Structure 1
Amino acid sequence: MLKLFPQKVSNCETGSRRQFLLEVGALSAFGITLDSMMRGQAHASNSESGALADPSNDTNCILIWTRGGTSHHDTFDPKPNASADVRGDFSAISTALPGYQFSDQLPLFAKHANEFTIMRNLNPQNGSHSTADAFMLSGHKFNPSVTYPCYGAVIAKTKGFKTNIPPHIQIGTNVDRRFNGGLGGYLGLQYNPFEIPGDPNAKNFTVRDISPPSGISIDRMKRRQQALQAIDTLQRQADQNQNAFEASDAHYKNAFSMITSADTQKAFDLSEESNKTRDDYGRHYLGQSCLLARRLIESGSRFVTVSSGGWDTHTNNFKSLKKSLPPFDRALTSLVLDLKQRGMLDNTLVVWLTDFGRTPVINSAAGRDHWATASTMMMIGAGTPAGQIVGATDDIGSRPVGKEYYPADVAASIYTKLGVNLDHYFISPEDGRPLIVNEGQPIPELMG
């Protein structure tokens, strides 16, 4: 647990209310507390939020981010007729879509290809780690003078809380933060994701910030809350700003209600799922993370990012992918089929993104290096036409042939499906200049 304001405090009864919440936990490596997140989001301009989003649109999103740059050749864009130094070790297999093939490491995707839309003509316009996380997760090219907010941050500012569950959640820590990728950016720290570290497949998996500190029962926490209320009653008598106290109380109550809420505890509890469902998703990090994402969306979160690491395959590309691709294949197909069976795909957008593509020619270390002009992505749900392959790359997968799309267009498609006004301007808190939400165009094949 991180503390923003370290100090010697023997117990919560003798500390401040803020210290009490810090003792419960910190929301991320940046030390964002539940209180500060809720407080900041409540201060968002109602008029700005109203102009930014369609209030009738209740579409949510699960974004799967495979950090490192997943090879397009060895997943959804194989080149079986290319030379061996391009084709690699994997074979291509037929899919449910006549005339299209995927890697033989993705048999479930191949079987259920009519459920997905795969885009092969994505030009990622970048080939560098960390700048990729900033660019691909926001739709804005990296700018050292401006940190653009990621998708989830914009949705959190736009729509706020629906239940006690934070609207913007990140499962895992596999987002490169060196250039502030995946964060709230100029919208403020309060729009950073509620980050869930650890492995949801682990037997001892717990989520900090929604559980009381070790050895402290809910009843004991409630007694502490009552003591804090008594202390603050005395503080109010000496303070002139009564409205500020009342507003502060509301945010502390919201944070406390999340920590003690049975519904919140239940949302994060994977033991509520049947063994069959957990097995279907796969008893591994990615499988249980996707299952947890579905539960969080059901419980009221609006945007959940599932982050997965280990996809930077400069050496032993095929050996590495033989371990990584089967969990990816099972987890994502199970997520989509589960959402469909539950009737959730109409208002849940599922997106898979990665940093960039990999080199067509295999290097001397049996790996593929970074490639900036060709990659692939996936989109399902929220009105996305299913069962299509959009675009194509050349014979060696070096760049798109004909029409190509860019990260800004992917962002425009995501925001449009989530009801965000692409032409809205945020006002920079530093210099007051307007910053547009998005400069791309929605991709017609994804919009239906």
Structure 2
Amino acid sequence: MLTIFGQRHRFCDGVTRRNFLKIGALGLGGLALPELLRAEAQAGIRRSHKAVIMVFLPGGPSHQDIFDLKPDAPLEIRGEFKPISTNVTGIQICEHLPRLAAIMDKLVLIRTMVGCQGDHDAFQCLTGRSNRNQPPGGWPALGSVVAKLQGPVDPAVPPFVGLSPKMGHMEWADAGKPGFLGVAYAPFKPDGAGKSDMVLNGVTLDRLSDRKALLASFDRFRRDVDSSGLMSGLDAFNEQAFGLLTSSQLLEALDIGRESPKVRARYGKGDSRN
């Protein structure tokens, strides 16, 4: 009998990937990664990819005005908004978030986080680390780490896309940097005029393939004399670029005109340049 947090399965063919990972985390039987992957394959469990959207609010509302209103605190400490109940007993949030309150059972509030330094930039939120005493190359952003470890679901779609808006002080809205992982894992930024670069503009696929072969021959020559590791990053960028150009998937995904007016209205008009 296998018992993991209340879920019982007599045999491993009913165990999900998440439960396998829990076994490894608990150290039951010293299950290592090779055994985990082998057990997954035998059980027919496939790798699952999830799309994660990280919303970072640079200089956004403080916690006592959104999720931790402290109504019993003195007037000079608590905010001006009133708390409302959510669909989870004991959890209250700001009165201006009624839709969020209705789906609170699908959210997790973490009220114990402490910043590693008192800066307003996005660095520690994107990396989980201080920007001081960094290793050579710097700390990579979360998206770059995922891009390195998981890779893309489809070669034509980058695993890490940065949609941060343009601001006067970009440290507040930076999508993150790849750090010591290298430029191959930097965020893809399809902002403004950059979208036009994803269109072939009359170049046939055969001609594009010829250009790719020529570029590869130059890269092989340069790699022989390059010891910085930059070429390996450029190789990955080249493959990604050709994948983007020969597939319409990413361009279609970025075309908000394909969304229904109802969905677009929920997000607001915004700025078409961002």
What residue is the counterpart of 2:123 in the other structure? 134
What residue is the counterpart of 1:275 in the other structure? 261
Matches within 5 A, 1:85-100: 85-100=76-91
- Deviations along 1:119-171, one digit per CA (max 9) or x if unpaired, are 122222332123xx222211222224421111111111112232111111111
More helix, by proportion: 2
Distance 1:89 1:157 in 2: 44
Deviation at 1:189, TM superposition (A): 1.9
In structure 1, stretches of 5+ residues that fail to align are 1-49, 199-204, 289-306, 308-448
Residues 128, 78 of structure 1: alpha-carbon distance in 2 compared, 3 angstrom cutoff: same
> Which amino acid is 1:210 matched to?
M
**Bigger relative contact order (CA 8 A; separation at least 6):** 1
Residues 221, 68 of structure 1: alpha-carbon distance in 2 compared, 3 angstrom cutoff: farther
Distance 1:97 1:121 in 2: 19
Q: Assess if the C-alpha contact under 8 Å between 1:67 and 1:174 holds in 2.
A: no
What residue is the counterpart of 2:139 in the other structure? 148
191, 196, 216: which one aligns with 1:197: 191
Q: Assess if the C-alpha contact under 8 Å between 2:68 and 2:93 holds in 1.
A: yes
Distance 2:219 2:146 in 1: 36
What residue is the counterpart of 1:262 in the other structure? 248
Residues 228, 210 of structure 1: alpha-carbon distance in 2 compared, 3 angstrom cutoff: closer
TM-score calculated relative to the size of structure 2: 0.64
Residue 199 (structure 2) pairs with residue 211 (structure 1): yes
Q: SS in structure 2 opposite 1:257?
A: helix
More strand, by proportion: 1
What residue is the counterpart of 1:167 in the other structure? 159
- Deviations along 1:395-442, one digit per CA (max 9) or x if unpaired, are xxxxxxxxxxxxxxxxxxxxxxxxxxxxxxxxxxxxxxxxxxxxxxxx
Deviation at 1:193, TM superposition (A): 0.5
What residue is the counterpart of 1:225 in the other structure? 208
Q: SS in structure 2 opposite 1:142?
A: coil
Alignment RMSD: 4.1
Q: SS in structure 2 opposite 1:93?
A: strand
Distance 1:259 1:106 in 2: 41
Deviation at 1:112, TM superposition (A): 1.9
Distance 1:229 1:251 in 2: 12
Matches within 5 A, 1:298-447: none
Matches within 5 A, 1:115-134: 115-130=106-121, 133-134=122-123
Q: Assess if the C-alpha contact under 8 Å between 2:163 and 2:175 holds in 1.
A: no
Distance 1:250 1:92 in 2: 49
Deviation at 1:239, TM superposition (A): 11
- Deviations along 1:86-119, one digit per CA (max 9) or x if unpaired, are 2232222222222322111212111221221111
> Which amino acid is 2:249 matched to?
D
> Which amino acid is 1:117 matched to?
V
Distance 1:194 1:59 in 2: 18
Q: Assess if the C-alpha contact under 8 Å between 1:96 and 1:111 holds in 2.
A: yes
Q: SS in structure 2 opposite 1:122?
A: coil
In structure 2, stretches of 5+ residues that fail to align are 1-32, 38-45, 225-231
Residues 252, 206 of structure 1: alpha-carbon distance in 2 compared, 3 angstrom cutoff: closer
